[in-house]
Structure 1
Amino acid sequence: MIRDTSGQDVQLTPQSPWKNPRVLKRAGLGLGAAAFVVWGLVSWQSSNAVDGSLSLSRINIAEVQRGDLVRDLVVQGKVVAANSPTLFSPAQGIVKFTVKAGDAVTRGQLLAEVDSPELQNQLAQESALFNKLSVELARQKIQAKRQRLENTQKADLAKVDLTAAQRELKRAQLSQEKQIISQLDFEKASDDLARAELEYKQAVQNAQLEDEALAFETQTLELQVSQQKLQMEELQRKVDDLRIVSPVDGTIGSLAATQRSAVAANTPLLTVVDLTSFELEAAVPENYADDLGLAMAVEINMAGKKLPGEITAIAPEVIDNQVIARVRFTSNQPNNLRQNLRLTARVLLENRADVILVKRGAFLDQTGGRFAWKLNDQHQAVKVPITIGALGLNQVEIVSGLNEGDKIITSSADALENAQLVALKD
């Protein structure tokens, strides 16, 4: 009998390895090491994703809101007289001033007088010609009356001859019936009547034609007299204009000529400044020139008080990259205004209702209005692209990129220059 190894085998009951304390200790140490490694990797990745950090005390944060945006422009201007007429010499001559620069004048007061012998001589000649034509017209009227009287007399005489010829023919008819006169005498009486009728008719027609001719000649002289009167009145007006009077109540601004100097026609003599009406002369940057319009509302700031106004004129030319606009006060003009007073004005270019807007800040200049840093829930600021619209004095319109309720950084910082994600610290 061959012996086997069955007697050497021992049956063992299987045991779980987790019941062994030594195995459990080793497993716990392994899990702890793995968790530490994972935490380290996550922390390392998180620290590498943030491009920088900023302290909340060093930045400004604003919330995106919905509201009305007033697009405006703040400009500087100076107070000028709204009415400052310059008076010119009406003719060539010698000027004599009766006032000096700075004198207060009233409307209608004599300011200067121009002595023009040439113009006065022309007025005398035209007046003499007017008188001559007036005398000729009066003579023509008398001559017309005499001629009409003669024409009437001729017509009346022709009528008398006609009446006599009619009576002579009637007498000849009676005589012929009684055979007192011959046929030849009767025919002669008939011819005399026909001649008398013809002469009367021609006398009446000639009288009518003479009346028309006389009326035409009289009318021609009347037109010449009327024309000469207009020329004389025009010269008289020019002579009267040699006395230069003030058109407004105000002050003499400056004298453009010296006393008793020779001046040509249309030469500026002096300027009168009306101190009762002022306007603001504002310099607007050239890039806003297309946005300006007449009757556009303006707020004028004077010593902290806002005065309403409106644009009344816009200069067509650009000088030193600026356009000059005239603004008048629409309410009662302040009493303490004076020439060349410097004031600040706010031009209300546009009013947009119910738009997304946010407070203006230095981030617009830093990014050109193309990006903003929006705050998220992880105490971070994320760079997002935006599109801006109208720019107001304190707010800017957001066309796209942000929603109502978002918060963004409105200030600028070096850490935001090229950062995509910035951590915020208290």
Structure 2
Amino acid sequence: MDVIIEKKTWTPARLMLLGALVLVVVAVAALLLTSAGPAKLTIDPDRVTMSTVTRGAFQEFVPVDGLVMPIKTIYLDAPEGGTVQRILVEDGATLTPGQPIIQLANSDLQLEMVNRETAVFDLMNNLHNTHNLLQQNRIQQLNQQAEIENQLREAKRLYELNKNLYELKVIALQEYRQTKNAYDYQLRRKQLSRQALRQDSLAMRQQINQMQQSVNRMQSNLALMRRKLDDLTIKAPAAGRLTSLSAEIGELKTRGQRIGQLDMLTGLKVRATLDQYYISRIFPGQKGEVTVNNKTYELSVKKIYTQVTQGVQVDLEFTGSAPPDLRRGQTVPVRLALSDQTVALRVPKGSFNQKTGGNWIFKLSADGTKAYKTEIRLGRQNPDYYEVLDGLKPGDRVITSSYDGYEKMGELALSAKAQ
């Protein structure tokens, strides 16, 4: 009986043929990939910005807008409340020290001043009357003491006379003792009178001193009231220009209310607000510059405000003369230096960095017809340049405009025929 032999689908010959075909396909694909090279794109050179890498002065700085202000401003507040009676100067006037600005009226202060003057007058009258009474009392005591001394001398004379007579047995013991007792009594009266006079003198001095101190206090209070009345005339504390004057005739001003400000004429400063990103890189004495009418003026950071709200505020003062045409409230562009000026390899800033992150750039060939993707390394930057640390050399020409649509390309062909 015959046995049916099944024919094999994958014979050794077929397997060898399939393997050979796979090898051919792989070889062709590898050849194609090897010969293709980087992706290319032809562009119009007028659509891109080409810049030259140079070596030159480089400095980190931040551009900010600065507000021109006087170096020192004195705020004018009402020391006492009152109704505006007279406005003696106009807003913007240049004032001298002590020049009156506004005259206020306050009837309550004036009435209080009259009452205090009356009280001081009454107290001084009382002091005068008390002094007179004490002087009269002292005179009476002195008269009394003189009388006591006279009686003491008479008692002493009789005592000494009777003592001699008693020793001579001329008078009796009783008469002698009477004169002796009278003499001792007058002597004691004199001692008590002196002690009373001394105590009265001390009491009189104390009373007069107390009353004098009261008068002095009242006069000090009166002087204070006079100063308060004088404060109703608001005066310029120093020389300067009056600005922001806020007052109308008949308007009621309360104590401490702002009526204006006095800008000192000693110079101008510029106040700038920086992003808080730079807070650790700002310090007193840092340099800056401002350009006014095509002329550059140097600035220096004078004060850094510690309170950070919407940014870091700094005050800059001119190291030399200020621009003559500069006015308070004017806004000027300030370049604040963040580093010293050095010599570095630099490339002009452009939009290319948004796609490359500073890691590569399109560098033009020597004939300028092609641009190749070149790895670079960038460092510091300012609004004009990037610092180039590696990958380029002076004289290289690069594309610095936007790389939208070019980021996956390895080579750009520059041709005016490109659409």
1:333 and 1:101 map into 2 onto residues whose CA distance is 27
Cα offset, 1:345, TM superposition: 1.7
Determine which of 280, 299, 311 is the counterpart of 1:322. Answer: 311
8 Å Cα contact 1:64/1:403 also seen in 2: no
1:304 correspondence with 2:294: yes
1:173-322 counterparts in 2 under 5 A?
A: 173-248=163-238, 252-273=242-263, 277-318=267-308, 321-322=310-311
8 Å Cα contact 1:71/1:349 also seen in 2: yes
Q: 1:196 to 1:261 in 2, by over 3 A?
A: same
SS in 2 for 1:151: helix
Structure 2 partner of 1:104: 93
Determine which of 138, 143, 162 is the counterpart of 2:133. Answer: 143
Identity %: 16
Q: Which amino acid aligns with 2:221?
A: Q
Cα offset, 1:173, TM superposition: 2.2
8 Å Cα contact 1:357/1:395 also seen in 2: no
Cα offset, 1:316, TM superposition: 4.9
Q: 1:193 to 1:302 in 2, by over 3 A?
A: same
Cα offset, 1:205, TM superposition: 1.8
1:17-166 counterparts in 2 under 5 A?
A: 48=37, 60=51, 62=53, 70-99=59-88, 102=91, 104-107=93-96, 108-166=98-156
Structure 2 partner of 1:168: 158
Cα RMSD (Å): 4.5
Greater shift, 294-303 or 357-366, is seen at 357-366
Q: Which amino acid aligns with 2:160?
A: K
SS in 2 for 1:185: helix
Q: 1:99 to 1:177 in 2, by over 3 A?
A: closer
Cα offset, 1:174, TM superposition: 1.0
Q: Which amino acid aligns with 2:65?
A: Q
8 Å Cα contact 2:53/2:345 also seen in 1: no
1:340 correspondence with 2:332: no
Q: 1:330 to 1:180 in 2, by over 3 A?
A: farther
SS in 2 for 1:266: coil
| Deviations 1:263-284, CA, capped at 9 Å, x for gaps | 3333333445556643223232
| Deviations 1:265-307, CA, capped at 9 Å, x for gaps | 3333344555664322323223224433445433232223222
SS in 2 for 1:279: strand
TM-score scaled to structure 2, two decimals?
0.70
SS in 2 for 1:77: strand
Q: Which amino acid aligns with 2:313?
A: I
1:353 and 1:139 map into 2 onto residues whose CA distance is 88
Structure 1 partner of 2:15: none
| Deviations 1:102-138, CA, capped at 9 Å, x for gaps | 4634324433211211111111111111111122222
1:208 and 1:391 map into 2 onto residues whose CA distance is 93
2:55 and 2:41 map into 1 onto residues whose CA distance is 23
TM-score scaled to structure 1, two decimals?
0.69
Q: Which amino acid aligns with 1:383?
A: E
Cα offset, 1:140, TM superposition: 2.7
8 Å Cα contact 2:374/2:391 also seen in 1: no
2:119 and 2:220 map into 1 onto residues whose CA distance is 12
SS in 2 for 1:340: coil
Cα offset, 1:248, TM superposition: 5.0
Aligned residues: 377
Q: Which runs of 5+ in 1 are unaligned?
A: 1-40
Cα offset, 1:153, TM superposition: 3.4
Structure 2 partner of 1:34: none
SS in 2 for 1:414: coil
Larger radius of gyration: 1
Cα offset, 1:220, TM superposition: 0.9
Cα offset, 1:408, TM superposition: 11
8 Å Cα contact 2:355/2:407 also seen in 1: no
Cα offset, 1:338, TM superposition: 1.7
1:272 and 1:121 map into 2 onto residues whose CA distance is 32
2:153 and 2:406 map into 1 onto residues whose CA distance is 128
Cα offset, 1:179, TM superposition: 0.9
Q: 1:373 to 1:103 in 2, by over 3 A?
A: closer
1:52 and 1:164 map into 2 onto residues whose CA distance is 147
8 Å Cα contact 1:169/1:190 also seen in 2: yes
SS in 2 for 1:150: helix
Q: 1:347 to 1:161 in 2, by over 3 A?
A: farther
1:81 and 1:309 map into 2 onto residues whose CA distance is 14
SS in 1 for 2:329: coil
1:146 and 1:309 map into 2 onto residues whose CA distance is 79
1:181 and 1:424 map into 2 onto residues whose CA distance is 159
8 Å Cα contact 1:54/1:422 also seen in 2: no
8 Å Cα contact 1:93/1:262 also seen in 2: yes
Q: 1:343 to 1:46 in 2, by over 3 A?
A: farther
SS in 2 for 1:281: strand
